Amino acid sequence: MSRWMINCKEHSILASENLDRRLSFWERVSVWIHQMLCPPCQVLQKQLSTIRAACRAARADDSITDPEACRLPNEVSERLKGMIQEIATDKQRR
Amino acid sequence: MTTDTPDRPDSSPPPDQWVDLFGNYMYRFALSRIAEPETAQDLVQEALVAAIQSYGRFQGKSSVKTWLIAILKRKIVDHYRRRSNRQATDDVESLANSMDKVFNDTGHWRVRPNEWVTNPSSAYEQHEFMDVLYQCLSNIPQRLAEIFMLREFDEMSTAEICKQLSISESNSWVMLYRARMHLRSCLESNWLNDAD
């Protein structure tokens, strides 16, 4: 078998590693050829991309429409500020 | 304030301004995941405490806001883990064995992955998806969840992760692979089934 023909399991490993390191030329060729021939592995590739995009999104979703409902109550804000001040002072002292 | 300020841009707001600048945003983020206001407030507090304690290691590669949200996401996963009351299993090997069920002996899919029909503009679908994602993440062995969160929430490179966790780079790729494959399979069985 030629070196760029890989099976689905090997493809899944490379598809994941592609998110963490630059694949070698032959690895990229293997992934590309495999995906051309294998629709389920194209789906896997999309799923891995969706998971990454979802995890990296730093936006709150828009399910809360009442702006007042998503404001920290004043007493909580004040308590948090006091707490931060306390920890900072404590750190400085040490 | 703290004196341990390494390579951060001077424009980064100091901790005493975080609540005013990002408090409501963090609260809103937490509330969009956890519907109970008091729990959401507790999670914001936990995230702020964790942030101020690790501020010395914040390098300013992302904005303070993005960094705070990354910490908050970890607290949300912790919350789900506590709520599900599962022992924090570290059984990475049994997960590896369950992965063998994904592919047959010749390395082909036993159960083919399904196309995820998502509508990114639908807030409802996004919300459902993220709910299941956090739950799935809270169900995988802690070691795998930790490395996955470092990579995807904190956006650390694998080289940085290896340094932090004292593991080899190839080991980190294997762990990330297992975490992702487990998550995708968990999302597929829980999210898609719920959506039916």
Q: Phi then psi for B63, rounded to 5 degrees?
A: -75, 160
- Tell me if B2 and A88 make a contact (CB, 8 A cut-off): yes
B 47-106 near A (Cβ less than 8 A): 48-49, 52-53, 65-66, 69-70, 73, 102-103, 106
Q: What angle do CA B179, B146, A59 make, to 5 degrees?
A: 90
- Tell me if A84 and B19 make a contact (CB, 8 A cut-off): yes
Q: pLDDT (tens digit, 9 = 90+) per residue, B96-138?
A: 666 778 899 999 999 899 888 766 556 666 777 888 888 899 8
The answer to whether the CB of B169 falls within 8 A of the CB of B158 is yes
User: If you average pLDDT over every residue of chain B, what do you get?
Assistant: 83
DSSP structural state of residue B115: P
pTM equals 0.79
Question: What percentage of chain B has pLDDT greater than the value 90?
Answer: 38
Asked whether the predicted pLDDT for residue A89 surpasses 70, the reply is yes
- Tell me if B118 and A46 make a contact (CB, 8 A cut-off): no
The answer to whether the CB of B48 falls within 8 A of the CB of A88 is no
CA B118 to chain centre: 20
Amino acid at B178: R
A68 vs A90 pLDDT, higher one: A90
This model of the complex carries an ipTM of 0.81
Q: Which residues of B3-24 are buried (b: 16+ CB within 10 A; e: fewer)?
A: eeeeeeeeeeeebeebbeebbb
- Tell me if B24 and A81 make a contact (CB, 8 A cut-off): no
Asked whether the predicted pLDDT for residue B5 surpasses 50, the reply is no
B 11-40 near A (Cβ less than 8 A): 15-16, 18-20, 23-25, 27-29, 31-32
Q: pLDDT (tens digit, 9 = 90+) per residue, B158-169?
A: 999 999 889 999
| Start-to-end C-alpha separation, chain A | 64
Asked whether the predicted pLDDT for residue B196 surpasses 70, the reply is no
Strand partners, B109: B103
- Best CA proximity match to B73, nearest among B97, B51, B93: B51
Asked whether the predicted pLDDT for residue B1 surpasses 50, the reply is no
Q: pLDDT (tens digit, 9 = 90+) per residue, A59-84?
A: 655 555 566 677 888 899 999 999 88
